[in-house]
A and B are shown apart, each in its own frame.
Chain A
Amino acid sequence: MNMLILFIIIPIVMLPALWACRKEAQVRAVMVTGSTLLLLLSAWLTVDFISCRNAGNNDIMLYTASWPWYEKLNIALSVGVDGISVAMLLLTSVIVFTGVFASWRIRPMAKEFFLWYTLLSVGVYGFFVSTDLFTMFMFYETALIPMYLLIGVWGSGKKEYSAMKLTLMLMGGSAFLLMGILGIYFGSGATTMNIHEIAAMNNIPTATQYIFFPLTFIGFGVLGALFPFHTWSPDGHASAPTSVSMLHAGVLMKLGGYGCFRIAMYLMPQAASDLAWIFIILTTISVVYGALSAISQTDLKYINAYSSVSHCGLVLFAILMMTKTACTGAILQMLSHGLMTALFFAIIGMIYGRTHTRDIKQMRGLMKIMPFLAVGYVIAGLANLGLPGFSGFVAEMTVFAGAFEVNDTFHRTVTIIACTSIVITAVYILRVVGRILYGEPENEEHKKLSDATWDERFTIICLVICVAAIGIAPMWVSSLIADGTGNVLANMFP
């Protein structure tokens, strides 16, 4: 039995189990069991993967397997992982696991909520384990649809509008993506859908690449919050319920970066190196523009959504630098941003659940009222602004050091512009911390509020531990990822 297929089977089995549940307690039991199993599985996969590598197994992909399911178009359910996917699977498991605790008291219709939530995770897991273009696309779409319902039904504020906007924009992206995938398939001679076989052939004509690389990159870029296709992010995150924001910003946006790297650049290296400059400009804009927009927002979730635009912009920025260090940094940044932003959204959701407002002008002195959440927020903030000891620093430094390896004026300039984000980030983080956490509480109603419950504390502690673990001992995860990025780049530019 292939270990990877379990990542798809476990959540699929959870679906009927959830369906059969009658009480909330049963739903929670199923969710906790399932997500814990997945977490253990991904931890075990990581350990096993590293030991395989240490044992000298240098295949590009490990644990590969393939089951054809539509022979005429060479579509197969092929699975396989390298260091990058292992890191992403680990991230997904942590976020799904903590997300369950973050939505412990979700009302109404807890069962339905978790059904869609699990279906969403099927899509994400499936995307990260598969190596077949079409199957990846299918899982990608699987992840998008539940998002619509999760936001539209359980969201807050202008939820219908946001859900519709988010779905339409991402679907628009998938339309590009489908064209891109078909272009790659037929461009490479229509013999296989397996990305590694296509990459090995490396026979897509340059003219074809010029058309389909931008399509694919933008298709994934929409999900990765590429300027100017990022505007679904603030509205979508603001309306989404807590655990959905966590999963969306934490994992789903990473599908974009992962896809850009794994599909767009890996399969069309020629166009990637020729056209990179266009996207480098766009991503540089994302980085600075997102951070500057965040400064003047007043809604906590908007601030964080714009901050995500900036941080995810850095992911795409680093990928496009096409050096091993920068790409490793990009994957590290995906991992780190996923964890940090999930932590942030979790805490914002918890604060919102108490104060019923996310407007920073209406909150003050939360440190005195809910010290645990406030300290959590400060930690998340410090991690976000790249304090050493947390994952953000490691990721950003790897990205910048990698970007500096490209030695020409254009790349130098954009790198220095992107570097300024470390100052701007500090401004918007500290502004909020100073505004809502410090000071004396002003609102009489707020003074009666309580601090975090056990499930909320558990969520926060788990995520903080992960963020700090990467920040303190980055060499393990960095070498795990570097293994994957090295192979991809070696194949791109033999």
Chain B
Amino acid sequence: MAVNVASEWLNACSGCEISILNTGEALLDLLPQLNFVHIPALVDHKYYGQTGEGTALEIPEAVVGIVSGGVRNTEHKHVLDEMRKKVKVLIALGSCACYGGIPAQANMFKQEEIFDKVFRGSPSTDPSPNPEHPDVPKWTATCQALDEVTKVDIAIPGCPPHPDWIADALLALLAGKTEWKLPERSVCDTCPVIREKKSGGGPIKRMLANAEFNPEEGLDKMRCLNEQGIFCMGPVTLAGCSGKSGVPRCIQARTPCRGCFGPIRKGAKPMVDMMGALTSVGLDPKTLVDRRAIMNRYIGGHGYLTVIPARPVR
């Protein structure tokens, strides 16, 4: 018997959905077990009835609800609330849903500043008032993770999450389980590079030049990027970006991790922990450029990123 599934995307880019579609043949095996009653990306079920005359937003009942994207406006909140009402198990899919994601970088700015820039402050835009219309939902005060708004049962983080974990979580639900979570390991625990627990010191390097490595050799012959002096979030980031096997995705490109899977455990303080990790290899965290934004790149919800008030004029 197929299980009814409802799916939605809120303040999202659709990368999570593409990640599912990249699953390949495992997807064809999994699909017949899932009956999608609502998924705007793929199926034409409508909120207000199929001929658009309904008055209340309606999502069909389902056992599993999958939501990607965080909450950025009143419409997102409305859809999320309806989803929560209609499903037994709510899955937050991807780092926007779990932590706010990249769009939560906006939490460093006031809404007026952002709207000023977009609608009145660009060289190509005819300066105009902010859009205002019943069908243009108002922004919420901040860009939020789903669990800041409603109860979430299962979190599958990642930007995007790896299809291995999406399939794993769904199969666990199909087998009757109600809980699922990624193992608590760091990216470094799955990274094959050479570590000597010390760096050459000096200011932390930006990616203005490439890392040092021999392209003919594997990653197990490359020195750890933090130890090369290049800032990498691996030590404080949850592992799993390349699925059940394989090396961390960004390291595969010989580029540093930026923390897209979020903190290793709930309640962690990645910024504090990361500063500790840098210090432990002899790097000075104060030399990291754009420190607050870069360390909270994917996790700006939950109050991690806030507007810093302008310094008082003396």
Binding between chains A and B: no
Give residues in A with beta carbon < 8 Å to B: none
Give residues in B with beta carbon < 8 Å to A: none
